[in-house]
Structure 1
Amino acid sequence: MKLSLVLILCLFFSVTAVASNFILKSDTTINTFNKDYVYQVKKLQSEITIDGVIDENDWERAQKADKFYRVLPIDTGFAKQPSTMMMAYDDKALYVAQIFYDYIPGDRIMESFRRDFSFGSNDNLLIFFDTFLDQTSGFSFGVSASGAKWDGTMSNGSSISLDWDCKWEIETKHYDDRWVSEMRIPFKSVRYPTGSREWNVNFSRLDLKSDEKSAWAPVPRQFPTASLAYTGRMKFEEPLPKSKMQFSVIPYLLGGAAKDFEAGTSTDYRTDIGFDAKVGISSSMTLDLTYNPDFAQVEVDQQVTNIDRFELFFPEKRQFFLENSDLFSSYGYAHSLTPFFSRRVGLDAPVLAGVRLSGKIGNNWRVGFMNMATEETGENLARNFTVASVQKKIFTRSSLGFIAVNKEYFDVPSDTSMFNRVIGFDYNLASKDNVWDGKFFYHRSFQPDNPDKQYSQGAMLMYKTPHIQLGLFETSVGENYRAEAGYVRRTGYNFIGAEAGYTFVPNKKW
C-alpha cells in the first residue's frame, strides 16, 4: 500500500510538471451578454488603507459604476436608492470600494455578523468575478450591512459554494445617508490566467427597505444576479503580475498520556503527526497534499432530523476537498444521484494520505485527479479511492465531462476480488443568454460478477423567460447500480416529469 502511494505521488508530480507548462491564453472569450458594460480598473498611484473611509486620491481617480438596474421585483428602470462601486489594483491585490446610499427612514437590515450570511435576510453587496472568461466558473465576494464577509467559488454558471473561504480584508462604516465598505482581495487568493488583462464582473445589491435587488450589468428577473452569462467586463490598466508558486503547509503534532492509578497499570503514551499542504503550481492549477489529516477544526454539520427512508446529504466542509470541488461533485444530480461524494472518504475509517490536483489547462479544459487512502480498522479493510475528471468547454457556455471513480480494497483473500468502479459522461447545456439550460448523463458501475442493470441515466431541459418557465425531467437507475464512493438515494426506478409556470406582476405601477 505504501508503495502504491509513492507511485501515485510520482505520477502526480509528473502530471503537474506538464500542466505547469501550459499557458492560458487570456482574454479570448469576450462573449458575455453584457459585453458593452466595461469598467476600467486603474493601477494604484499610492497606498490605500482599508478603513472604510474612502478618502484616498486613487478613489477620486477611479471610474464610478453608479447606475444600477433593477432586477427584482421587476427588471426595468434604475434602482430607487443610488449605489456606487469603484475598483483599483496594485501588483498584489484588487481593491474595491462600495457606497450604498440609504434615504429611506428606519434601521438597516442586518441579521448577524456570521460569515457567509443568509442572502435574503441582510442588506448586502455581492460581487461575482469570472476570472477565466468562461461564464461558468468564478469567485464571489460580498459584505452585509453588519460588515460580515461572504466568499465562495462559483460553478455551473451561477451556483455558489460558500464552504470555500480565503484570506481577504474588509471594513464597513455607517453614516446617516449611506453605508460604505472597503475591501482588499489578494490575487493569490483566487485563480486567473497568466498575463490576464480582463475579467468578467457584476455587482449586486439587495436593499430590503426598498424591497429591490439591483445590479450594475442588467440581469433578467428570472435569473439570479450571480448568473455569469450577464456579467459586464473589467479591464486592467496593465496585465496582472505573473503568479508565483504558492506554498502553504499546516502541520500538527499531538501528544498525550493516560494512566489508571486505581488499577495500577502502566502509562499509555500517544503521539500523532500529520499535515495539510497546498501548492499553487500556477495561477490556474492547484495541488493539495495531506498525510494523517486532523479534521478536528472543521465546522460541524447542522443537525437535521431525518423522517424519511433516504440517507441524509451533508455538504463537504473539509478544506482539502473544497477548491474546484465541482470538478468531482457535479456529475449526475449532485444531491440525489452522483458517482462521487467526497464525504464517503474517511467516513468510517481515518484518512492515511491523499493527493489532489485540479484546475485548468488551456482555455477550454478543466482537469481533476484525486487519490486517497484510508487505514484499516477493526471493522473495515484499508481502501483506496481514485477519481479522475476531465471537462471540455463547448459552444459558448456548455461543457462535456468524463469521470472515472475507483474504490479498491487492500489485503483481501487471494481468491477474492473487492472493488467498485464507475465511469460516465455528462453533457451540460447552457445557452448564451441562459434561457435554455439542461443536462444529460450516463454512468455505469462495475463490481465483482458484473450483474446486469448497473446503469444510471438522466436528462433535464429547462426553458426560462421573464414570463414562461418550462421543464422536462427524466431519470432511470438500474437495480444493480452501485456507486459506493458516491451518493445514490435509491436504485431500480424510472421517472419522467414536467413542470410549467407563468409569472406576471399584477401591480400596474411597476
Structure 2
Amino acid sequence: MRILLILLFCLLNVALWAQKKNEAYQLNLHRATGPIKIDGLPDAAWNDAAVASDFYMVLPMDTSFARVKTEVRMVYDNEHLYLLATCYHLLPGRYFVESLRRDFTFGKNDNFLLFMDTFDDQTNGFSFGANAAGAQWDGIMYEGGKVDLSWDNKWTSAVTKDDEKWVFEAAIPFKSIRYKKGITRWGINFSRLDLKTTEKSAWAPVPRQFPTASLAYSGTLVWDEPPPQVGPNISLIPYALGGGSRNFTDNTPTTYKKEIGMDAKVAVTSSLNLDLTVNPDFSQVDVDRQVTNLDRYELFFPERRQFFLENGDLFANFGYANIRPFFSRRIGLNVPIQYGARFSGKLDKNWRIGAMDMQTAEVESSHLPRQNFAVMALQRRVFSRSNIGVIFINKSSLNYQPSDDPAIPVYSQYNRNLGLEYNLASSNNVWTGKTLFLKSFSPDKSKKDFTHAANLQFSTRRVLLNWQHEYVGENYNAEVGYVPRKNYLKINPQAGYLFFPKGKVVLSHGPKITSTYFFNSDFKQTDNESVLSYTITFRKQSVLTGWAAHDYVKLLLPFDPTNSGMDSLAVGTDHSWNAFGTDFTSMPQSIFTYAFSTRFGGYYASGTRLNLSGEVGVRFQPFVSLTVTANYNDIRLPEPWGNKTFWLVGPRLDLTMTNKLFFTAFAQYNEQQKNVNLNTRVQWRYKPASDLFIVYTDNYFPENFAVKTRALVVKLTYWWNI
C-alpha cells in the first residue's frame, strides 16, 4: 500500500509540473495595417493577419481533424483587440439558433467562441463569441474551464451570412479586459459548434471529456510587442429608476420609488480593478425560478447581480457546493445596500487578491441594525495550474446591543470565518481536487466550530473516479455563507465508465455508480443514497439515462414530507425506500426540442412518490423562442398527510426583435406555494453596456387570480468611459 501511495504521489507531481499540453499551437499577433470597421465584411487590413485553421474535432470523437472548416484571424491597435472568424458550412440548410438573446445556451446554437487566458496561468480568463444570428456571448472564466455568463462588459461585434459561410467580427476594447502589463504570451483557443453536423471543434485539440473552454488545453497567442497600455481607465455607470409597488393582501396604498445611484470601475493597473457602488439597485435582475421544494434543507439560488461577479470566483468558489463560507446573496437582497467597494485582480502571474466591503442600512420594521460585510481573499498559484487560497470573512452589526424584549428579534453582534484551501489541477486536467479547512468565530459558539472537506477526481475519456469527504462541526457558523447542514461526516465515492461503439446511432454508453453516506459525530449512519445509472449518448447528441436508487434517512429534525405546513415526522424515525427513473434530452439541432424526467418509488413513512417533469421548446429563428416547463409530484402518505399533488408550470417567451432589443415574459404557477407569478421585462441596449429596462411583476392567488402584489419599475443605465 505504501508503495502504491508513493507511486501515486510521483505521478501527480509529474502531472502537476508538466509543460503546457498545447504549447506547439501558436498564433502570431501583429498590429493592424489599416482601419477596421466592425460590420462582418472583412477589410483589407485582415489580409496580413495570421490564420488559425485546421481545427480538431472534439465531439462526436476527438481522434481526427474537424470536417467543418473554420478560419480565425486576430489583429490589434492601440485601443482594441480584433477578431474575425469565418465559419464555413459543410451541409446545406439553415443554421440553428434559439434567438438573438445575449449569452445564449451553448448547446442549442450554432456558435463560435473565443477563450482568452490573459495571464497565461491556465486558470482565469475571458470568453467572447456569438451565435450564427449575431447574438453576443461574454463571460469571465474561472477554475480553468468554467464561464460565468452573468458578467457583462462593453464591446462590439457583427455577423454576416451567405450560402457558403457565416462570419463573426468583433472589437474588444483593452479597457474591458484585464491582463498583465508587459506579457507577450496569452493562452488562447477557439471553439466552433455546428449543429447540422453535430460537430464541436477547437483550434488547439481538447479531449472530448473536457469542455472546449478548458484552459489547460489552450494554445498560445504570441504578440509582436507587449499589449498596449490604455492610460486612465475609469468607467462610470450611473442609473436612474422610478416605479411603484402595492401589496393588495394588506390593502396598503401604492409605494412609489424614485432612486439614483452609480457604479464605478477604476482600473488601478491593467490587471487590478477597483469597483465602487453607491445606492445600488438590482431590480432588473431575472427573478429566481421557483421549484417544488421537498428537501429538508435550504435550497441554493445563484448570484445574478453584476457588482458581485467580476473576479467573484475568488470569494464565491471557496469551498464546496454545500460548504460555502461566503455567499453574496446574503448581502442586500431584502435589505438596502448603502455603498460598497471591491478591489480584485492579479498582482502578477502567480498572485490574485480580492477585498470587498459592503454596508447595509438599518431596517426599523424588523429591528435589523446597520451591518458591515468585509471579505479578504488571497490566492497563490503553485505548480502549473494548482493554487492555494486563504479567505477571511467578517460580518458586524454596528452600534448594536441585543434587546431583552422577547418580542424583538435578536441578531448576532459579529460572525467571522477563516479558511484555507488547496485546489489541485494537473497540467492535462486529468487529476483535479480540493482540500479545505474552515473555522468560524462567533460570540456565543465555540469548539466544534471548524470544517474540513476534500476530494480527488481522475477523469479520462473512458474512466471517471472520484472520492469526496466532508466534515462540518456542530457549532460551525457561516452567517454570510451557504452551509445548509451541520454536525455531520459525509463520504461520497463515485465511479463511471464509457464504451464507444462503432455503429452510426450510439456515440457512447456506460454505467456510473455513486453512493453518499452521512454520519453523526458518533459515526452512526444517518443518511445514505446509492444510485446506479446508465447513460446512452446518441450521435445526434440526444441523451438517455436510466437509474435506480436506494435511500435511507434517520431524521435529525422534525420534517413535513410535503413541505406544505402540515404535521412533521418525529426526530429519530427511520425511513428507507427504493426508486427508479429516467432522464432524456432531445437532439439540440431541432427547431422543436424537449426533455423529460421520471421518478417513481418509495418515500418517507412507507409512502410513495411519483415525479414527472419536462420541458418543451420551439423556436422561430431567430426572433422567437417559446419554452414550457412542467413538474408534477404525486405523493401518497398515511394520515394526516394523505395524498398530495403539486404542479409547477412555467411558460417562458423570449422575443428578440434585434440583438439589442429584447422582450421576456414568463409565468410560474406553484401549487405548493399557492402562487402564480407573472414577470415581464423589456431591455433596450441603446449603446454598448447601456440599457433601458422596463420590468413588470404580478403575484396572484391561483384559486381566483386575485392580485397579491404588483410592481412596475423603469430603470435607465449608462456606461460612460472617462
Task: Provide TM-score, normalisation by structure 2.
Answer: 0.63
Within 2, Cα distance between the matches of 1:200 and 1:126?
14
**1:257-295, Cα deviation, whole Å (9 max, x unpaired):** 99xxxxxxxxx9987543221111111111111222222
2:98 aligned partner: 111
The answer to whether the 8 Å contact 1:128/1:202 transfers is: yes
Amino acid at match of 1:231: S
1:52 aligned partner: 40
1:481 aligned partner: 476
Equivalent positions of 1:59-78 (< 5 A) are 59-78=46-65
Identity percentage of aligned residues:
50
Within 2, Cα distance between the matches of 1:59 and 1:254?
44
1:442 CA drift (Å): 0.8
Which sections of structure 1, spanning at least 5 residues, go unmatched? 1-28, 259-267
| Count, aligned residues | 471
Amino acid at match of 1:338: R
Within 1, Cα distance between the matches of 2:437 and 2:18?
32
**1:191-249, Cα deviation, whole Å (9 max, x unpaired):** 00112322110001111111111110001111111110000001122221113231122
1:22 aligned partner: none
* Aligned CA distance change for structure 1 residues 292 and 197 (closer, same or farther; 3 Å): same
The answer to whether the 8 Å contact 1:245/1:282 transfers is: no
1:369 aligned partner: 355
1:390 aligned partner: 378
Q: 1:286 aligns with which of 273, 284, 287?
A: 273
1:414 CA drift (Å): 8.5
Within 1, Cα distance between the matches of 2:240 and 2:140?
31
Within 1, Cα distance between the matches of 2:258 and 2:135?
39
**1:1-48, Cα deviation, whole Å (9 max, x unpaired):** xxxxxxxxxxxxxxxxxxxxxxxxxxxx99421011010112111111
Amino acid at match of 1:40: N
Within 1, Cα distance between the matches of 2:195 and 2:239?
45
Within 2, Cα distance between the matches of 1:216 and 1:252?
41
2:496 aligned partner: 501
The answer to whether the 8 Å contact 1:37/1:233 transfers is: yes
The answer to whether the 8 Å contact 2:375/2:394 transfers is: yes
Within 2, Cα distance between the matches of 1:30 and 1:244?
37
Residues 1:240 and 2:249 aligned together: no
**1:373-428, Cα deviation, whole Å (9 max, x unpaired):** 11111211111111000000011100000001111112222999721111111100
* Aligned CA distance change for structure 1 residues 355 and 51 (closer, same or farther; 3 Å): same
Within 2, Cα distance between the matches of 1:484 and 1:110?
42
Within 1, Cα distance between the matches of 2:35 and 2:494?
54
2:582 aligned partner: none
1:347 aligned partner: 333
The answer to whether the 8 Å contact 2:115/2:125 transfers is: yes
Q: 1:174 aligns with which of 127, 148, 161?
A: 161
Decide which structure has the larger Cα Rg and report it.
2
Residues 1:492 and 2:487 aligned together: yes
Within 1, Cα distance between the matches of 2:331 and 2:352?
23
**1:110-134, Cα deviation, whole Å (9 max, x unpaired):** 1111111001111111110000011
The answer to whether the 8 Å contact 1:140/1:154 transfers is: yes
The answer to whether the 8 Å contact 1:401/1:426 transfers is: yes
Within 2, Cα distance between the matches of 1:499 and 1:368?
34
Residues 1:381 and 2:381 aligned together: no
Within 1, Cα distance between the matches of 2:291 and 2:224?
50
Amino acid at match of 1:387: V
Within 1, Cα distance between the matches of 2:434 and 2:402?
42
Amino acid at match of 2:370: A
Task: Provide TM-score, normalisation by structure 1.
Answer: 0.88
Which sections of structure 2, spanning at least 5 residues, go unmatched? 1-16, 246-254, 405-411, 508-722
The answer to whether the 8 Å contact 2:396/2:413 transfers is: yes
2:112 aligned partner: 125
Q: 1:405 aligns with which of 385, 388, 393?
A: 393
Within 2, Cα distance between the matches of 1:98 and 1:405?
44
The answer to whether the 8 Å contact 1:124/1:205 transfers is: yes
Q: 2:435 aligns with which of 416, 431, 440?
A: 440
Within 2, Cα distance between the matches of 1:269 and 1:459?
50
* Aligned CA distance change for structure 1 residues 352 and 238 (closer, same or farther; 3 Å): same
Q: 2:462 aligns with which of 462, 467, 474?
A: 467
- Of residues 248-257 and 335-344 in structure 1, the stretch that sits farther from structure 2 once superposed is 248-257
The answer to whether the 8 Å contact 1:164/1:322 transfers is: yes
* Aligned CA distance change for structure 1 residues 77 and 400 (closer, same or farther; 3 Å): same
1:457 aligned partner: 452
* Aligned CA distance change for structure 1 residues 179 and 273 (closer, same or farther; 3 Å): closer
* Aligned CA distance change for structure 1 residues 75 and 256 (closer, same or farther; 3 Å): closer
Regions of 4+ moved over 4 Å? 252-258, 268-273, 414-417
Within 2, Cα distance between the matches of 1:393 and 1:418?
35
1:182 CA drift (Å): 0.8
The answer to whether the 8 Å contact 1:194/1:243 transfers is: no
Within 2, Cα distance between the matches of 1:498 and 1:360?
35
Equivalent positions of 1:313-332 (< 5 A) are 313-332=300-319
1:301 CA drift (Å): 3.1
Equivalent positions of 1:178-193 (< 5 A) are 178-193=165-180
The answer to whether the 8 Å contact 1:30/1:133 transfers is: no
The answer to whether the 8 Å contact 2:434/2:455 transfers is: yes
Amino acid at match of 2:61: I
Equivalent positions of 1:21-36 (< 5 A) are 31-36=19-24
SS of structure 1 residue aligned to 2:37: coil
- Of residues 426-435 and 270-279 in structure 1, the stretch that sits farther from structure 2 once superposed is 270-279
Within 1, Cα distance between the matches of 2:131 and 2:179?
26
The answer to whether the 8 Å contact 1:71/1:219 transfers is: yes
Greater strand proportion = 2
Equivalent positions of 1:205-216 (< 5 A) are 205-216=192-203
Q: Aligned-residue CA RMSD in angstroms?
A: 2.3
1:252 CA drift (Å): 4.4
* Aligned CA distance change for structure 1 residues 308 and 256 (closer, same or farther; 3 Å): closer
